[in-house]
Chains A and B, each alone.
Chain A
Amino acid sequence: MSNKTDITVEEHLEIQHHVKTYINVFVALIVLTFITVAVSYLEVSFIEAFFLAVMIASVKGSLVLGFFMHLITEKQAIIWILVSTLIAFMILMFLPLVSMIDHTNTW
């Protein structure tokens, strides 16, 4: 039982170091949430607003992915799966759109 519940001092320190990172990320996410809301009140065109919003969301998303989900230290296999998912996702997002815009008699 004892070897199951005990951990070494180094491990303990390492986890506490991680916890600090988590708190920092948490603060950053909160700040970015307010920035997103604030940005939406700016008087900009739709395209600009869209890119701003998606960019901030992407930054937030990468923070969650990278630190909460540990993607920055994740193994090759998972990175490759996610890269191929991302490619498929991009195809799914843009190819229908592009072909719709290219339709001569639109919808």
Chain B
Amino acid sequence: MSSIPYILEERPDTGLNNSRLGIWIFIASEIMLFGGLFSAYVFLRFAAPEGDFDYWGSKLNVPMATFNTLMLITSSVTMIMSWASLRMKQFDKYKMYLGLTILCGLGFLVVKYIEYTSKFHHGIFPSSSTFMGIYFTLTGLHVLHILGGLLVLIYFWSPVGKRMYDEDPNLLANRIEVTGLYWHFVDLVWIFLFPILYLL
């Protein structure tokens, strides 16, 4: 179909294939996207009146967020396990681990939903304070990333994955590796969001 080289095999002098380089550059730009928001957070924290961020920060639910952190870490490890199973050509194990990853991601969203709605019930909205604004913006954007990742994961978990595996297992392994890199990055963002928003 296509004559583009180095889709799967590695280019000898760079040692990379296209998608791996591509996803890392994508992650680099994501780092800068969240970097902009982190920078805004720090800037606003300095600009805010003394104790303002502490006061509003204490309204967040730490146990729920801790639970969510564990959930995401678990999903990260199941993600990489599904890739490892795929490399060992164990398709069933791959499907199980990928399913677990999707479940953890969905669980994260459910907990986040409970968190958001309970905030709204208490009359706390993004406009309530600058801290709440940045909290909703940062976590909201992160939730959007989770959603996007989940869509891709479900796509590969669906029969499409099986078909791709039958055609070329290495292609599926490559796609899962790249998806995994993105998924780990989303996990990584949460690892930083969690202490900065909930614990400080």
Interface residues in chain A, defined as those with a beta carbon under 8 Å from any beta carbon in chain B: 4-7, 11-12, 15-16, 18-19, 22-23, 25-26, 29-30, 33-34, 36-37, 39-40, 46, 49-50, 53-54, 56-57, 60-61, 64-65, 68-69, 75-78, 81-82, 85, 88-89, 92-93, 96-97, 100-101, 107
Question: Is B77 in contact with A56, judged by CB distance below 8 angstroms?
Answer: no
By secondary structure, the A interface counts as helix
Contacting residues of chain B (166-200) with chain A, CB-CB under 8 angstroms: 168-170, 180-181, 184-185, 187-188, 191-192, 194-196, 199-200
Q: Which residue of B lies closest to A68 (CB)?
A: B184
Q: Which residue of A lies closest to B166 (CB)?
A: A1
How many residues from B make CB contacts under 8 Å with A?
Answer: 49
Question: Is A56 in contact with B43, judged by CB distance below 8 angstroms?
Answer: no
A residues within 8 A CB of B87?
Answer: 7, 11, 15
Question: Is A37 in contact with B199, judged by CB distance below 8 angstroms?
Answer: yes
Q: Which residue of A lies closest to B13 (CB)?
A: A77
In the complex, A78→B28 CA distance in Å? Answer: 10
Question: Is B192 in contact with A101, judged by CB distance below 8 angstroms?
Answer: no
Question: Is A97 in contact with B196, judged by CB distance below 8 angstroms?
Answer: no
A residues within 8 A CB of B181?
Answer: 69
- Please tell me if B46 contacts chain A, counting CB pairs below 8 Å: yes
Question: Is A88 in contact with B21, judged by CB distance below 8 angstroms?
Answer: no
Question: Is A22 in contact with B77, judged by CB distance below 8 angstroms?
Answer: yes
Question: Is B15 in contact with A75, judged by CB distance below 8 angstroms?
Answer: yes
